[in-house]
């Protein structure tokens, strides 16, 4: 999916922006807040465009199906010439005939066609509901991608701070080693710890670049390794109000309505049809004045034998209606299960974030105390390393808890049909 979006972006980009020798822009671009990002993703979602196109096609099918029950008028004109022999064997001279007129028809009774038109309209309504379902998925994907960027950015900030602390500690320990106050192995350990923290920082920078590229692709912007996302207010974060009916459920209901109407149409395949026709025309030959004329009529058709086609069509339609009913039941059950699970995860994520934030406060206080003692020469390197690692783990834990909270929010809103 992201690959398709990137191809779309490349196709729309200015050729100068695609110089293979150019370095990626480090400009994070304008700030991105959560709600604006969701709206942009909905507008840019390829699935939304595809669902809209399918709905328009279904609208056209419904119009075509309905047209069979409406009057139709056709204008015609003929010009012919020819010669031959009469029945008595005499030559018939060349004659030219001209005719112009209007012909019309109106299907007065066509039960199967009427049912088919109703089925087509139900299909169109279902396709419209699928547009909203594509929007729901776009909002969900944007929220999750936004959370990923935010989490990697916060993790990057934590590792950047940790690297500064580790480098400063390594320098201090090496000075003590040079002064003979610490063993050389302790200096090597401090420098190795700083290298380990730097490796972790570089890894999370790669994760951030990937997360930014994913998010920007969702809103159809050219990827860049940095993007400026603004964190939401974490306290009291709640899902948006849900629509009366979930779009996926509406689509399944309309699919069932269409299948049942199609079953009715198949059952009416043996019903008679009645059509009224009429013609108004004027005819003339060899330059003579055109003489007007008209005709009207009624035609009736009653299928008798169709080689098993009618019975097969009824069997197909009945199976289609049964399948649509099962799919509706399955969709309803899946939505209930998904909603209960997502809301449970959201509740758990709130509690997890509160616990992680408390743990970070405690870990930071513990590190500050050990760091002060370490700076004063009253604490060994290992307790300082342990305290710093605890603080880093707590900071990363808060970032991941916030990520999990936004993921749970995205999933909860999706199960409610919010877009």
> Residue 152: which of 198, 204, 203, 200 has the closest Cα?
204
Residue 17 within a domain = no
Residue 145 to residue 352: CA distance in whole angstroms:
20
pLDDT of residue 195: 94
Average pLDDT, integer, range 227-238: 87
Mean pLDDT for the chain overall: 87
Residue 168 within a domain = yes
- Residue 202 in tokens: 């570089």
pLDDT of residue 26: 58
Tell me the pTM: 0.78
Per-residue confidence band for 28, with pLDDT thresholds at 50, 70 and 90:
low
Average pLDDT, integer, range 100-121: 88
pLDDT of residue 224: 77
pLDDT of residue 410: 96
Within 8 A by CB and 6+ apart from 298, the residues are 274, 275, 276, 277
Residue 95 within a domain = no
pLDDT of residue 15: 38
- Classify each residue of 283-293 as buried b or exposed e, where b means 16 or more C-beta atoms within 10 Å of its C-beta: eeeeeeeeeee
User: Is the confidence at residue 146, as pLDDT, over 80?
Assistant: yes
Residue 139 within a domain = yes
Average pLDDT, integer, range 60-78: 87
pLDDT of residue 221: 86
User: Is the confidence at residue 419, as pLDDT, over 60?
Assistant: yes
pLDDT of residue 395: 95
Residue 356 to residue 67: CA distance in whole angstroms:
64
Highest mean pLDDT among 20-24, 97-101, 271-275, 387-391: 387-391
pLDDT of residue 25: 52
CA dist list (Å): 314 to 61, 121, 264, 310, 319:
21, 20, 9, 6, 9
Residue 1 within a domain = no
User: Is the confidence at residue 69, as pLDDT, over 80?
Assistant: no
The domain total for the chain is: 1
Query: Which phi-psi region, left, alpha or beta, contains residue 287 (left: φ > 0; alpha: ψ -120 to 50)?
Result: left
The 10s digit of each residue's pLDDT in 292-347 is 888 898 988 888 877 778 888 899 999 999 999 999 999 999 999 999 999 999 99
Q: What are phi and psi of 203, to 5 degrees?
A: -65, -45
User: Is the confidence at residue 8, as pLDDT, over 60?
Assistant: no
- Residue 128 in tokens: 């419209």
pLDDT of residue 19: 43
Residue 76 within a domain = no
CA dist list (Å): 387 to 371, 400, 407:
8, 20, 30
* HEC sequence for the chain: CHHHHHHHHHHHCCHHHHCCCCCCCCCCCCCECHHHHHHHHHHHCHHHHHHHHHHHHHHHHHHHHHHCCCCEEEEEEEEEEEEEECCCCCEEEEEEEEEEEEEEEEEEECHHHHHHHHHHHHHHHHHHHHHHHHHHHHHHHHHHHHHHHHHHHHHHHHHHHHHHHHHHHHHHHHHHHHCCCCCHHHHHHHHHHHHHHHHHHHHHHHHHHHHHHHHHHHCCCCCCCCCCECCCCCCCCCCCCCCCCCHHHHHHHHHHHHHHHHHHHHHHHHCCEEEEEEEEEEEEECCCCCEEEEEEEEEEECCCCCCCHHHHHHHHHHHHHHHHHHHHHHHHHHHHHHHHHHHHHHHHHHHHHHHHHHHHHHHHHHHHHHHHHHHCCCCCHHHHHHHHHHHHHHHHHHHHHHHHHHHHHHHHHHHHCCC
User: Is the confidence at residue 218, as pLDDT, over 70?
Assistant: yes
Q: What share of the chain has pLDDT > 70, as a percent?
A: 92
Q: Which residue has the higher pLDDT, 307 or 26?
A: 307
The 10s digit of each residue's pLDDT in 350-382 is 999 999 999 999 999 999 999 999 888 888 889
Within 8 A by CB and 6+ apart from 48, the residues are 42, 131, 134, 135, 138
> Residue 249: which of 377, 344, 130 has the closest Cα?
130
Q: Domain of 162?
A: 28-69+107-274+309-416
CATH no. for residue 233? 1.20.1600.10
Residue 408 to residue 237: CA distance in whole angstroms:
11
The 10s digit of each residue's pLDDT in 154-199 is 999 999 999 999 999 899 889 888 888 888 898 899 999 999 999 9
Residue 54 to residue 113: CA distance in whole angstroms:
22
pLDDT of residue 22: 42
pLDDT of residue 68: 76
Residue 141 within a domain = yes
- Residue 169 in tokens: 């500690």
CA dist list (Å): 386 to 11, 155, 187, 264, 382:
51, 19, 16, 74, 6
Residue 294 within a domain = no
User: Is the confidence at residue 37, as pLDDT, over 80?
Assistant: yes
Residue in the structure block whose two tokens are 């379902």? 133
Per-residue confidence band for 23, with pLDDT thresholds at 50, 70 and 90:
very low
């Amino acid at each position: 999916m992201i690959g398709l979006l990137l191809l779309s972006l490349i196709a729309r980009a200015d050729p100068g922006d695609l110089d293979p020798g150019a370095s990626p822009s480090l400009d994070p671009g304008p700030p991105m807040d959560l709600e604006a990002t969701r709206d942009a993703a909905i507008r840019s979602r390829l699935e939304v465009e595809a669902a809209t196109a399918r709905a328009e096609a279904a609208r056209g099918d419904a119009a075509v199906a309905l047209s069979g029950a409406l009057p139709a008028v056709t204008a015609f004109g003929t010009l012919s010439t020819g010669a031959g022999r009469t029945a008595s064997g005499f030559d018939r001279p060349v004659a030219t005939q001209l005719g112009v007129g209007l012909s019309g028809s109106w299907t007065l009774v066509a039960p199967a066609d009427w049912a088919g038109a109703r089925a087509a309209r139900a299909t169109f309504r279902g396709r419209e509901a699928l547009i909203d379902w594509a929007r729901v998925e776009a909002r969900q994907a944007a929220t999750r991608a936004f959370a990923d960027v935010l989490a990697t950015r916060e993790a990057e900030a934590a590792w950047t701070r940790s690297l500064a602390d580790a480098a400063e500690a390594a320098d201090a320990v090496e000075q003590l080693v040079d002064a003979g106050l610490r063993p050389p192995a302790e200096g090597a350990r401090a420098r190795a710890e700083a290298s380990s923290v730097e490796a972790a920082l570089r890894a999370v920078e790669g994760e951030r670049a990937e997360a930014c590229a994913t998010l920007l692709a969702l809103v159809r912007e050219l990827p860049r390794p940095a993007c400026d996302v603004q964190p939401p207010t974490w306290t009291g974060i709640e899902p948006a109000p849900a629509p009366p009916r979930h779009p996926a459920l509406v689509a399944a209901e309309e699919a069932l309505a269409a299948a049942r109407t199609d079953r009715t149409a198949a059952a009416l395949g043996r019903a008679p049809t009645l059509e009224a026709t009429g013609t108004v025309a004027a005819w003339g030959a060899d330059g003579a004045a055109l003489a007007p004329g008209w005709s009207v009529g009624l035609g009736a058709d009653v299928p008798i034998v169709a080689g098993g086609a009618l019975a097969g069509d009824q069997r197909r339609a009945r199976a289609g209606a049964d399948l649509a009913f099962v799919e509706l039941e399955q969709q309803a059950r899946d939505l209930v299960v998904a909603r209960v699970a997502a809301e449970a995860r959201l509740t758990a994520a709130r509690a997890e974030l509160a616990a992680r934030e408390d743990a970070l406060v405690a870990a930071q206080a513990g590190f500050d105390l050990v760091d002060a003692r370490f700076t004063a020469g009253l604490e060994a390197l290992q307790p300082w390393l342990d305290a710093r690692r605890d603080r880093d783990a707590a900071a990363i834990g808060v970032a991941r808890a916030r990520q999990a909270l936004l993921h749970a929010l995205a999933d909860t809103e999706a199960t409610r049909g919010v877009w």
